[in-house]
Amino acid sequence: MNEKYQERDVYVAIADPTRRKLLRLLADAEELPLHELTAQFQMGRTAVSKHLAILKEAGLVSDRKVGRETRYRLNAAPLEEIKDWVSFYEKFWMEKVALLKNLLAEE
């Protein structure tokens, strides 16, 4: 199968700081057109579109045409996988913090 048409890994999609910023911008708004998103970066429309395409391939972003304009919307559901993965390690960190508190209390 052609790699271009395979679903992109969510972890790969959010690895880039530009894409994380795009997700943040979309989380703060119901929907944003490409020109408004592009205005938030020091890069051209084509570069922002490529980042949005990667997010779309990972299922994190959906788009729709309104006349000649493309509007983008966040789909946070795929982030649940990351939340689950991170929360698995929460117990580990909570135990380490508790140990540190005990050590500090003893001193």
Per-domain residue ranges of the chain? 1-76, 77-107
Using pLDDT thresholds of 50, 70 and 90, give the confidence band for residue 7: low
Beta-carbon contacts of 52 under 8 Å, excluding residues fewer than 6 positions away, are 22, 34, 37, 61, 63, 72
Return the CATH architecture of domain 1-76: Orthogonal Bundle (1.10)
| Cβ-based neighbour number of residue 86 at 10 Å | 10
The whole-number average pLDDT for the span 27-35 is: 96
pTM above the 0.85 mark? Answer: no
Supply the mean pLDDT for the chain.
91
Q: List strand residue ranges (DSSP E) for 4-106, in order.
A: 32-33, 61-66, 69-74
CA-based end-to-end distance of the chain: 61
Average pLDDT value for residue range 68-97: 91
